[in-house]
Amino acid sequence: MEISIHNAAKRYLHDWIFRNLSLHVGHGERIVVLGPNGSGKSTLLQVISGQLTLTEGEIQYTCSSGKIAVDSVFRKLSYSAPYLELIEEFSLIECIEFHCKFKVMVNGFSPEDVLKISGLEKSRDKVLRNFSSGMKQRLKLTLAILSDVELLLLDEPCSNLDSDAIAWYHGMINKFASNRNIVVCSNNLEYEYSYCSRSLNILQWK
């Protein structure tokens, strides 16, 4: 997939989140968008995902078969962020099974395969509301990275992860996301995005 953003701007009420933003993400490219909290990184990621519309400008998506409509791009991407809610009444395995009804997993993985790769097998039947923040983040990353999609969007992917989980995260990227577009948002924590080949700072578009 390729993503082209032209003269984009996003405004909430009277406040411009970013302006005059132009960006091209080539096929298979991995980029990181840097900036402090509240600078607009997450807003940009939500625009790229199709969740938010631009106030000005345009965004285009292209794959080998041609252009992708903005309202269809969700089929081509997966998204992980600390602020995305899980259905907390589900057990872990129920959550994975539910996700697999909407997204095909890489390598034809079954829900049980996904559970094993997550490293959370001991909590198979535990209700998600009783998970720690780190366990929830690990689950979100597992579901996003193992989904068989062309574009992976990761907002602060190492939030609430300890050093072992951060190492697991890098292993997941290396093993299962080698040929995909990845856009990471980070507060300049290099271990979140060390695999990215290009960095941008959202503040340049203020």
Let me know: does 147 contact 106? Beta carbons within 8 Å: yes
Residue-level pLDDT at 185: 98
Average pLDDT rounded to a whole number, residues 86-96? 98
pLDDT in tens, 51-67: 999 999 999 999 888 99
What do you get for the CA distance between the two ends of the chain, in Å?
Answer: 27
Residue-level pLDDT at 65: 83
Give the model's confidence band at 36: pLDDT under 50 very low, under 70 low, under 90 confident, else very high. Answer: very high
Q: Which residues contact 43 (CB under 8 A, 6 or more apart)?
A: 10, 17, 18, 52
Helix (H/G/I), strand (E/B), else coil: 5:
strand
Could you confirm whether domain 2-205 is CATH 3.60.20.10?
Answer: no
Give the strand pairing for 56-63 and 30-34: unpaired
Q: Compute the C-alpha angle 198/68/40, nearest 5°.
A: 45
The pTM is what? 0.96
Residue-level pLDDT at 117: 98
Let me know: does 151 contact 77? Beta carbons within 8 Å: yes
